[in-house]
Structure 1
Amino acid sequence: MADHRLTRRAALGLGAAAAATPLLSACGIGGAPAVVNGAAGVTGGFDWKKAAGTTIKVLQTPHPYQQSFQPLLKEFSELTGIEVITDLVPEGSYFTKLNTELAGGTGKHDAFMLGAYFIWQYGPPNWLEDLKPWLENSSATHDEYDFEDIYEGLRQSTQWDFQAGSPLGSGGQWAIPWGFENNVVTYNKKYFDSQGIRLPDRFDDFIQLAIDLTDRTENRYGVAARGSKSWATIHPGFMTQFSREGGVDYTFENGAYTAQMNSDLSVAFHEKWIELMRRAGPTSWTTYEYPQATGDLGDGVAMMCYDADSATYPKNRPGVSKESGNLGWYAGPAGPDGNYKTNLWTWSLAMNSQAKNKLGAWLFIQWATGKQALSKAVAGGKFADPVRASVFDSVFKQQLSDQPGYLEAFETVIKDSKIQFSPQKKFFGTTEDWAVALQDIYGGEDARRRLDSLARTNTSKINL
């Protein structure tokens, strides 16, 4: 599975490019030509061949989603008469390249893969085409597309009006979800079954189990999770359980955000999470990203892993890891009130507001996120969680029927699965600061004092 983190170098590059771009100019926002949404220019009846004979360029990063669709591109070209040129960029440099291109307003690529969090930074300078007018135009969108079939939490995760304090689900539709990941717990089912271990329903019991499972002399520990100085440390298992326990990152009142990382509830949660990592996590936790966490699970070193479901299920495939066939999934501990709030990641497809072939780009996005193409991609066996309920209920259930607990965990959390963060334009920097604070507490700093400092800094940054 691809790494969802934005490297420090990439983050600095993104920030520098954005800072170098004027917010307003005579020719438009962000130094680019004035943006005109292309949907109104599509008239008449719907026809997949409306852009026949044209070419679109798509920027992507190597990923199971992209790999699952590559063999299907010929079908798209046969359906539409559109040639697709795909440029692949390794994920470590993907967002730096995309940011530079969008800031420059060149329109080199008509469509591209985009993580939902990046909408909060790329949308305000008008780098993204609003896809809501395209969805609402029956001349451009097939009447069987059924946008409502995409899970609500995913639809809302790619919608925002860019106004401080506004929730997700408001404003334009800046991307269409393509594939996603729920953050749940994978465990060594063979070992659990042999020891008669019951899956814990509450976080305190989860912590105790993880501690009980840990035996450093046997090279075995309780639970793997991310711990590096990256925003991606916060967003999987940590943010999921933080939300379930009642935590929130920010409140918004009287026109300003206030960071809540230092609330009594938050401080208590941080202390528990750090205790979990110290006593039952990997000994090199501060270096851990998802490959190390899932790798320890597959090697039988970690008894549990709190991370993306689709990042762990490949480890259970025949011959992939030492523990292939021995793993199981469950939703993880519920909150004190029984909730299963779950933070998700979604790779989506977005359109460049300066695209040279907007109709072709929209037909591609519509096709790639449609029922038929998604079903074929999922049937190939590599695609992660499908964004459509109809595909989950049919093809995906068949594909994952041999993965113990996977479908049950999915169905348990999906109604509460969404981006649990407050949408805000300083997300990457402030969330990386949060990960640094976690490491400092792990290293011995007092949780209350460190989180007070973090809250002051983030409140100042986010309100600039």
Structure 2
Amino acid sequence: MKPRLLAAALTLSAAAVTSPAFAFDWRQAEGTEITLLASEHPWTAGVREHLAEFEALTGIKVNVTAFAEDLYLDRANLAIRSETPVADVFMTLMDAAIYEQWNVGGVAPLTPYINDAALTDAAWDYADFSPALLQGASFPPGDAAAQQYAIPISMEAYILFYNKELVDKHLGGTLPATWDDLLAGAQKVTDEGAGELFGSVMRGQRSGSLVDTMTGIVLNAWGEAEAPLPYNIWFDGAWDKPRFDDPRIAAGLAHYAGLLNAGPENALSFGWEDASRYFAQGKAAFFVDASVFGPGFEDVANSAVAGKVGYAVLPAVDGVSVSGHWAWGLSMAENSEKKTAAWLFMQWATSQANDAAFGLKTGGATRSSTWGNADYVAAFAPGYVEAVSKQLEHTRPTMVFREGWGEVVLVIVDAIHAIYGGEDPVAAVTVLQEVAPAVMQ
């Protein structure tokens, strides 16, 4: 761990131990043993490092069972459907995954615990989480009486990364302020790069993995107009009112395709691994993707651009930079027989102190207060926290809560590929308006 990260971690760890509210009974489930089912993730590593603090505070024993992400997702889906309890608390994807888990009755509502003063420490401060972030696990979606089914633990917003050296060399040190400027600047770098350097690098393969980055860029073109869940920007308040041919959606997809066009010739084969590696190798001037890539780009052992990366919100449309966000969360198994102990663990793990402590490992703290925490800010490269926290002021969920949405994402990617290949954006979304609803039925 870097010295400044270590110092910040020690400070935040001390806060986690010394700041509980004494009026709250943290030992009300003393002697209980619970299981956390988790993905092997930097957040999970943070839990392991601090877990003894929770056990000393509460007298609750926590068994951490973790798997690589792909295997974990399968295990979690089986666990919540099991007739007998497998785990009490589990990590969940705050997107279609938690929606499906809620649909099958696998997750317990957390709102009754949040609202119970005997079960929730007043210092925990539910209001410190962004309402927009919480939407990813608030069901039924869009219902005034919706309850919370997961608490966010690690998030990402979709921002603009740029290579300062390449911007200085090819664009006179001026960061493009509009999408037209960004696309023109990216193309200029590619034209001058002689096949060795490129203006931008993006995920381009026909895959559902494009959904969040793509939606973040389209949300930017959409602006601040309403787009409530479960429909998001794609339907006008009802499943029989698709609006894939909206001019704002055409513009957003054209922005994505434009960045692909300023990239390598094989851009349509790139996944996130390829795109991020190209940027880390110093081969691209711009990269739009998840904010959680930032700390890795500053790793001097594995990145050629450490110390050379700039961070910015997406170029503003109509004066406001809007983007999307996505999150991991913690949920409680409906079939858990130890719900009080499970909630005490969830509450501790998502406290202000631990959000900051664990966030040092993820770069994706989920509380508004953490992004203003001096130790947290100091732990990251200059500009990173400023850009992400500024983008978070105007982000929205990237998901759609509807069965079959994954197939729709693929035909949206087809529209991006068509625009990349030279098709007019309006013509591409006209086709999309016909194809997408049929795919979802």
Please confirm whether the aligned pair reaches a TM-score higher than 0.5, indicating the same fold.
yes
C-alpha deviation, 1:261, in angstroms: 2.1
Residue 325 (str. 1) matches residue 302 (str. 2): no
Look up the SS of the partner of 2:245 in the other structure: coil
- How far the C-alpha of 1:457 sits from its partner, in A, is 3.8
2:90 pairs with one of 90, 112, 123: 112
State the partner residue of 1:366. Answer: 347
Distance in 2 between the 1:88 and 1:157 partners?
Answer: 23
Question: Which residue does the alignment assign to 2:294?
Answer: 312
CA distance in 2, matches of 1:318, 1:82: 40
Alignment-derived partner of residue 323 in structure 2: 342
SS in 2 for 1:344: strand
Q: 2:295 touches 2:363 (CA, 8 Å); kept in 1? A: no
Q: CA 1:212–1:257 in 2, change beyond 3 Å: closer, same or farther?
A: same
Determine helix, strand or coil for the equivalent of 2:377: helix
> Are 1:207 and 2:183 an aligned pair?
yes
- 2:333 pairs with 1:352: yes
1:383-420, Cα deviation, whole Å (9 max, x unpaired): 322111222211321212xx232122123222212214
* Residues paired across the two proteins, number: 407
Written as runs of structure 1 = structure 2, the 5 A alignment for 1:13-32 is: none
* Equivalent-residue separation in structure 2 for 1:442 and 1:105 (angstroms): 49
Q: What is the CA-CA distance between 1:170 and the residue it aligns to? A: 5.8
The correspondence of residues 177-256 of structure 1 with structure 2, limited to 5 A, is 177-195=152-170, 196-214=172-190, 215=192, 217-236=194-213, 238-246=214-222, 249-253=233-237, 255-256=238-239
Corresponding residue for residue 23 of structure 1: none
Assess if the C-alpha contact under 8 Å between 1:61 and 1:89 holds in 2.
Answer: yes
3-state SS of 2:53 partner: helix
Residue matched to 2:101: 122
- Structure 1 residue 422: deviation in Å? 4.3
CA spacing shift, 1:432–1:127, aligned 2, 3 Å: farther
Give the drift of 1:308: 0.9
Q: What's 1:260 paired with?
A: 243
Please list, as runs of the form range in 1=range in 2, the aligned pairs for 1:164-183 lying within 5 A after superposition.
Answer: 166=142, 171-183=146-158
Answer whether contact 2:201 2:259 (CA < 8 A) is retained.
no
Superposition deviation, residue 143 in structure 1:
1.4
* 1:293-312 equivalences in 2 (<5 Å): 293-312=275-294
Unpaired runs of at least 5, structure 2: 1-22, 224-231
Using the size of structure 2 for normalisation, the TM-score is 0.85
Residue-by-residue CA offset, 1:48-91 (whole Å, 9 max, x unaligned): 11222221111111112112222111111111111111122211
Q: Percent identity?
A: 25
Q: What secondary structure does 1:307 align onto?
A: strand
Offset at residue 328 of structure 1 (A): 1.2
Cα RMSD (Å): 2.4
Change (3 A) 1:312 1:410: closer
| 1:60 and 1:113 in contact (8 A); partners too | yes
Alpha-carbon distance in 2 for matches of 1:97, 1:241? 32
- Which of 432, 435, 441 lines up with 2:413 in the alignment? 435
Could you list the structure 1 runs, at least 4 aligned residues long, displaced by more than 6 angstroms after superposition: none
TM-score normalized by the length of structure 1: 0.81
SS of residue in 1 equivalent to 2:241: strand
1:67 maps onto 2:48 in alignment: no
